[in-house]
Amino acid sequence: MASKTLALISLILTCCVLFYAFLWINLLENLKSFSLGFKDVVRAEFLWREIHQHIDDRAPINQSVITSALNFSSLGDTIDAKNLTIEREDKITPIPILYKTNFTKLPVWDFEDVYLQDHDARKPICSDSKSIHNTKDPKFKEAFLPNIQLWLYRGLLNITEWNRLAHFNNPFGFMEYKYDEIRATVDLIPKPKFLKLLPVPESAKDGCIRCAVVGLSGILNNSKMGKEIDSHDYVFRVNGALTQGYEEDVGNKTSVYVHTAFSLYSSLHKFKKVDHQRLLQNENTKHVMIPEGLRDFEWLQGLLQRKEATGHFKGVRPLELFKGHFNESRFYVLHPDFLRYIRYRFMLSEQTQRKVWALYRPTNGAFALFLALHTCDIVDVYGYITEDHKKYSNYYYEKLKSRVIFYINHDYGLEIKTWKNLHDAGILKLYQGKGDLNNTKT
C-alpha cells in the first residue's frame, strides 16, 4: 500500500515538473519575441520612473543615473531590422520627452554605438576596389559597418525603437519629438523597391560600381572636370546641384540627388526652378532625403499624402514641385542610425563637448559622400572643401568670389581632415585642384 502511495506521489510530482517546465519554455519563447528583450524593457521602465520627475519640469538630469539605469551594452552593436515586426506596445509606452537644454554637452549613452542592421545589404564583388569595403587602413576598417541600415521606412519604428532613438538629437534620432507625430509620418514611407541604391552596370564586367560625388566648392571653377565626372557609372550631387551652364566644369549627369526638405525647396527658388526642375523630373535620378528636423517630417507627410504640408512648409504642396514625375521607387529617406553612425564613428567633433553641441552635424555633402562609400566600389570626389579653400570661391556657380564661411553647425576643419585622410588611405580620390598630381586619371 505504501509503495503504491509513493508511486502515485512520484507520478504527480513528475507531472508537475513537466508542466512547469513547459510553462517556463513557453515563457522564454515569448520573451524572445520582444524586439529588444525583456531585460531591456525592465531596464527601460526603471529608467523612465527614475527620470520622469526631472523631465516633466525640464530640470537638470544626472546622466550617471540614466546610464546606470538603462544599459543596452549587452546587445552588442547591432539590432536586426527583421526582428522589429513583433512588438508588445501594450506593455511599453513612449519615454518622457528628452530636451536638448537638459544637457550641457552631447550626452553619450551606453547604447550610443548600437545601430539597426540590414543583413540583406549589398555584398561587393569588385576585386579592384580599394574603397572602405576593402580598406586595409586599421582606423577606417574598424569604424566601417557593411550592414548599417541605410533607409527609414514603415515597419522600422515601433515604441521600443522609438524609446532608443528618442535619446538622440536630430537628425540622429527623435529627441524633443512626439512619438505619434513621427510614427504617423514614418508609416507613410514605403519600403524601397530596390534596397540596394545602385545596381552594378551591365557594362561593368568586373562587377565594380564607379561613382563621382560632386560638391559645390569653387575649386571646380575652370576645372574642366565635367567630362571626367560624367564618365562615372553614377554621379552623386547635393543641395544646389546646378549644372546648366557649368557642364564643362561639373558635368551634367545626376544619378543620386541628396538633400533636405529645406535645401531642395530653397534651391528651387534660388535657381528660378529651372535646373532643379530638371532634377525633379529626371527619371534617371534617385532622390535621397536627409530627415534633418521636424520640418522634414512635415514635408514628407505632405509629399506622401499628396496634400499641403504643415508647420514650416504650410501652404506648400511638395508633390506639385515634381510636376507629375514623383516616383516612390526612386525616393529614399536616410535612417537616423546611419546619420548617427557617421557622426560617432567618423566625424565626432570637439563641438559636441560645448554648450552648442546640439547645433553640430556633418554637412549634407558629408552624408552624401559616406552614402557613396557604402554604395559604390570606386569613389572619386570633386568640389569638396580642401586645405587651400581660401584660394577659391565658396561656390562654383558664383560670378563674384566670396570667402568660405565656417558656420557653427558644421565642423569644416574636421571635414577637411577627414576627406584628406580618406584620400591618403586610398579609400577615395579627392580632387584637390589642377596642381595636384594625385588627381591625374590613370
Would you list the domain boundaries of the chain?
A: 31-124+146-185, 189-439
Sheet strands side by side (includes 210-214): 331-333, 286-289, 256-259, 234-238, 210-214, 378-382, 429-430
280 phi/psi in degrees, rounded to 5: -70, -25
Give the model's pLDDT for residue 373. Answer: 96
Q: Which whole-number Å values give the CA distances from 401 to 218, 220, 314, 397, in the listed order?
A: 8, 13, 35, 10
Give the model's pLDDT for residue 13. Answer: 60
In 300-336, which positions are buried (b, 16+ CB within 10 angstroms) versus exposed (e)? bbbbbeeeebeeebeebebbebbeeebeeebbbbbbb
Q: Give me the count of residues in the chain.
A: 442
Give the model's pLDDT for residue 247. Answer: 94
- Is the preceding omega at residue 171 within 30 degrees of 0, hence cis? yes
- Per the listing, cell 535612417 goes with 335
Class of domain 189-439: alpha beta
Rg (CA), the chain: 25
Whole-model pTM?
A: 0.81
Give the model's pLDDT for residue 120. Answer: 81
Give the model's pLDDT for residue 7. Answer: 59
Give the model's pLDDT for residue 112. Answer: 95
Give the model's pLDDT for residue 5. Answer: 60
Give the model's pLDDT for residue 79. Answer: 64
Strand intervals (E) in 228-377: 234-238, 256-259, 286-289, 331-333
Give the model's pLDDT for residue 90. Answer: 59
Residues of the chain with pLDDT under 50: 23-77, 85-87, 437-442
